[in-house]
């Protein structure tokens, strides 16, 4: 893919898929005997959500929510907007939010408060990536795929200026090295 060669590999595709399989088994066990509503956060979580729900052996419904806090920037603005709302109420439902990355926690805190106000039976959060060094607001994370350092990552749904989501791995853009001296 043009331009993709500038990214360094962080998490290869086979490791991503193995971890998703583990997470799917755990979620299946945790929600055994219950119907589940899986809420994917657009656009970044779509690849993760698709692979994850295929690993969850339960009856489930899927819905989507669009949020924006980045625009085309590489850092969160801290201002969160809902760009697409759920299509159905979640009152008295067991809800699993599937997110691509938890960075500062500001977007997820906003989303969690918003969804809790809709009175679900339970609300759990699943993220593929977590950057704890950037945390500005603590949010309980029930399922975490990988904990990573503070790097700007792309691939497997994560983008830079809406590009590179389709890379099958997670990569990062190395920072320029300071001259020795």
pLDDT tens profile 18-32:
999 999 999 999 999
Q: Residue 16 and residue 29: Cα distance in Å, rounded?
A: 20
Q: Residue 107 and residue 82: Cα distance in Å, rounded?
A: 10
The one catalytic residue in 51, 94, 100, 103 is: 103
Percent of the chain exceeding pLDDT 90 equals 76
pLDDT tens profile 28-49:
999 999 999 999 999 999 999 9
Q: What string of DSSP letters covers 154-169? A: EBTTB-BTTB-TT-SS
Q: Topology of 11-68+80-170 in CATH? A: Rossmann fold (3.40.50)
Q: Where exactly are the structural domains of the chain?
A: 11-68+80-170
User: Which structure tokens are listed for 107?
Assistant: 């977007």
Q: Is residue 51 annotated as a catalytic residue, yes or no?
A: no
């Amino acid at each position: 893919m043009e331009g993709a060669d500038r990214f360094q590999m962080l998490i290869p595709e086979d490791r991503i898929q193995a971890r998703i399989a583990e997470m799917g088994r755990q979620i299946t066990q945790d929600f055994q005997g219950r119907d589940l509503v899986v809420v994917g956060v657009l656009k970044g979580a779509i690849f993760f959500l698709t692979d994850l729900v295929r690993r969850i052996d339960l009856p489930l419904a899927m819905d989507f929510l669009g949020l924006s806090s980045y625009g085309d920037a590489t850092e969160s603005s801290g201002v969160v907007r809902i760009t697409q709302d759920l299509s159905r109420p979640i009152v008295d439902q067991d809800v699993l939010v599937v997110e691509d990355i938890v960075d500062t926690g500001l977007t997820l805190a906003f989303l969690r408060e918003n969804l809790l106000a809709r009175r679900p039976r339970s609300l759990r959060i699943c993220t593929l990536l977590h950057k704890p060094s950037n945390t500005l607001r603590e949010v309980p994370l029930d399922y975490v795929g990988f904990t990573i350092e503070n790097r700007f990552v792309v691939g497997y749904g994560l983008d830079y200026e809406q590009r590179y989501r389709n890379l099958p791995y997670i990569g990062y853009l190395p920072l320029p090295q300071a001259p020795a001296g």
